Amino acid sequence: MKRILTGIKPTGTPHIGNYFGAIKQAIELSKNEDYEALYFIADYHALNTVKNPELFKKYTHEIAATWLACGLDPEKVMFYKQSDIPEVFELNWILNNITPKGVLNRAHAYKACVEDNKNKNLDPDSGVNMGLYCYPVLMAADILLMQSNLVPVGLDQKQHLEITKEIARYFNNTFGNFFVSSEEYIPESVGTIIGLDGRKMSKSYGNTITLFGDEKMLRSQINKIVTNSQTPEEPKDTDCAIFKIFSLFATPKQIEEMKEKFSKGIGWGEVKKQTFEVANSLLAPMREVYNYYISHPEEIDKILENGAKKARQIAAQTIGEVRKLIGKE
């Protein structure tokens, strides 16, 4: 049976970009009986940015509760924490030793930091730690350890999948054909999720809509979506942040009706009101489940522990074969 694997870093409170950009599709794919599904919380990846122990634990529970609230079934999916799979970190070191530095020099996150430092007349590697620089190798270890065939990711992670495939080729060419080819899954219908200001939704921009905030927070954040100064009676272009966010939650019929209102003229306040209504209609039932798990973290921990036990059976088999290939056993 083929395997599908994905994960998400616990680097902050989940927002709707996380849901529509990755989690929703991953959960739908987990229902495909042609695949064995493994979904993990990439907690050690988060150490690159999260240095507060209390936040580190809090974010991990929030991410786990999010996936469960969004419909992940831990009876059908191996749901675990990256840090509970020590074989990941052994493979990470092995892969580091066959990965050329030039491959990591091309990684977008590293290049962006270098470019920013140059613009500020700083040393090119100022503020760059090895966690950031070697991030793609650890991600490759996550994927290759489980011999993953399909990896749902956001558009911004596509390059990391390309690097994973490149690292797999280096290993296979060096020690023998072993790792399978992992392919990314990026639904065309999703693409980039737009934030409150029209840019990509990102915690770094502060333009997110919290996935499971209460109704008051949801309404407040939607009201902050940037619009222009057009009057209610003026026809409006649907190529704007508010319409795109509305469309994430709305049914096809509701989207067509909103398009017609845009063409005839509608006030931005009314658009935001209707956006809140369709968003809350979808999120309210999931919010209830999320709040339950947040109030019962011991249940989250038990689910993740059980998932790790299953995932380690695959991890142990893979690392055993890798050890033989490199000559350790």
Token pair of 211 as six digits: 């996935």
pTM of the model: 0.87
C-alpha span between 21 and 16 (Å, rounded): 8
Tell which CATH architecture fits domain 2-193+297-326: 3-Layer(aba) Sandwich (3.40)
The CB density around residue 212, as the number of other CB atoms within 10 Å, is 25
Q: For residue 29, what pLDDT is reported?
A: 87
Domain ranges of the chain: 2-193+297-326, 215-290
Per run of 10 residues, the mean pLDDT along the chain (length 329 residues) is 89 87 85 93 92 92 95 95 98 97 94 95 94 95 97 80 96 96 76 89 91 96 96 96 96 97 96 98 97 97 98 98 93
DSSP class of residue 73 equals -
185 forms beta bridges with 152
C-alpha closest to that of 209 among 28, 29, 14: 14
Q: For residue 204, what pLDDT is reported?
A: 84
> What is the CATH T-level fold of the domain 215-290, as seen in this structure?
Tyrosyl-Transfer RNA Synthetase (1.10.240)
Q: For residue 236, what pLDDT is reported?
A: 96
Helical packing angle, 268-295 and 53-69, nearest 10°: 110
Rounded to an integer, what is the distance from CA 110 to the centroid of its chain?
Answer: 19
